[in-house]
Amino acid sequence: MKIAIAKKLVSSVGGSELQARVLAHALAARGHDVVVVGMRPAWPRPGIPSSAVLRRDGGIVRQEDGAVAFAYLPPRAGRLGSAIEGVLPTDLAQSAGIAEAIAGRDVVHVLAREWARSYETAARRIGAAFVETPLVHPGQPFSGGGRADLARYRRDDAVIALTEWEAGWYRDRGVERVHVTGVGPVIGEVPRVEPDPATILFVGRKERYKGYHALRAAAPLVWRARPDARFVVIGQRSWRDRWSAKGDPRWIELGVVDEDAKAEAYARATVLAMPSEHETFGHTYLEAWSAGRPVIAGDIPPLREVVREGVDGLHARNDPRAIAEAILRILRDPGAARRMGEAGRESLRARWTWEGIAERTEKVYEAALARSRAAIGYR
């Protein structure tokens, strides 16, 4: 199949951005012709070539990355439009650029709803199947649960959910063609070292909903019982966050790091703690399991489906006291922590390899393509 995977930003940092990239390579490994379509950013971003940064109005910038092609499109309003698109859920897509980028594709697959209406229109014009992975976050602003979003999901040739809970959310709202694929981990080779006795790792955007602020407030509670505990935080600072990183030296802010440094951090960690209250799946838990480390996940339905309580991790509310109690439970019993980490690694191998994700996604595309061709009377 000829496939276009569309994501507004496709840097090498960020869950859904990495998801687009790795899925594209996994599909290409299965013999498909894949192009990843993204936006030309207004400022440099990791993984995006400097030639794609939009310093003035321009056309499509193309790049080859192994078997996968990349096409970077300028939005309307040039660099100003690109800056707006980088921080807001707007749609300043140029229809001509999208049409050029997806020409000849059998399937157009949009991740995270970005520019979805524009891509849907373009896909229909060329007779391609239109597939979405909406990544809804019910309860958040711009969560993907609005009336226009739901109407589009019902029109889609296929909607991909990452968990059965998410699939049920769509079906309860009248979306019929829903499939569950999951995701896989995105992590480099993990060094084979013994974990630290009391290092708590956070990997993710430093947002309140991710549990970052509650984890900071939990740290003093943990230090009362375990003054040797260290907190290591990896991830991009939220543009809304003005919290200073200065303070106790046992709280270590690393910002955005490369894949080798991230893998090293997982290997050294005792536990990953990301007690998110809004999550579609939480691929960082898979990364921790790749290193054989237990996790503390948010106490919400999709994460209860991914992380098995007491088997490969624990759940905690996005609340300092609940988080501190979960951390101390892990630190008090190294044997149980080791068993949970190994159970997570086995679960990862059985359920969430990228080879398996690509195979399931391929079947979704086949079903979507059959439905699209039947709808237009394909000959």
Q: DSSP state, 237?
A: B
**Bridge partners (DSSP) listed for residue 3:** 34, 107
pLDDT at residue 240, as a whole number: 53
Cβ proximity of 2 and 32 under 8 Å = yes
Greatest CA separation found in the chain? 71
> 255 falls in which pLDDT band (50, 70, 90)?
confident
pTM: 0.91
Measure the CA angle with vertex 349, ends 344 and 351; round to 5°. 90
CA distance 173 to 145: 10
68-73/61-65 β-pairing? antiparallel
For domain 2-184+354-375, which CATH number applies: 1.20.1050.10, 3.40.50.2000, 3.10.150.10, 3.40.1280.10?
3.40.50.2000
Mean pLDDT, rounded, for 28-56: 93
Residue ranges per structural domain of the chain: 2-184+354-375, 199-351
> 138 falls in which pLDDT band (50, 70, 90)?
confident
C-alpha torsion angle, residues 319, 325, 330, 336 (rounded to 10): -110
pLDDT at residue 378, as a whole number: 54
Q: Is 219 exposed, middle or buried (0-12, 13-18, 19+ CB in 10 A)?
A: buried
Q: Summarize pLDDT for 83-119 with one digit per residue, the tens.
A: 898 888 888 899 999 999 999 999 999 999 999 999 9
CA distance 314 to 95: 46
Mean pLDDT, rounded, for 323-343: 97
239 pLDDT above the threshold of 80: no
Q: Summarize pLDDT for 257-313 with one digit per residue, the tens.
A: 888 899 999 999 999 999 999 888 988 999 999 999 999 999 999 999 999 999 999
Q: Summarize pLDDT for 15-35 with one digit per residue, the tens.
A: 788 899 999 999 999 999 999
137 pLDDT above the threshold of 90: no
Mean pLDDT of the chain: 92
237 pLDDT above the threshold of 80: no
> 245 falls in which pLDDT band (50, 70, 90)?
very low
Mean pLDDT, rounded, for 131-144: 87
123 pLDDT above the threshold of 90: yes
> 379 falls in which pLDDT band (50, 70, 90)?
very low
Mean pLDDT, rounded, for 345-372: 96
Ramachandran area for residue 147 (φ above 0: left; ψ -120 to 50: alpha; else beta): alpha
For domain 199-351, which CATH number applies: 3.20.20.70, 3.40.109.10, 1.10.3720.10, 3.40.50.2000?
3.40.50.2000
**Bridge partners (DSSP) listed for residue 31:** none
pLDDT at residue 238, as a whole number: 66
pLDDT at residue 309, as a whole number: 96
Measure the CA angle with vertex 14, ends 330 and 62; round to 5°. 155
**Bridge partners (DSSP) listed for residue 180:** 161
Among 27, 25, 7, smallest CA distance to 363 is for 27
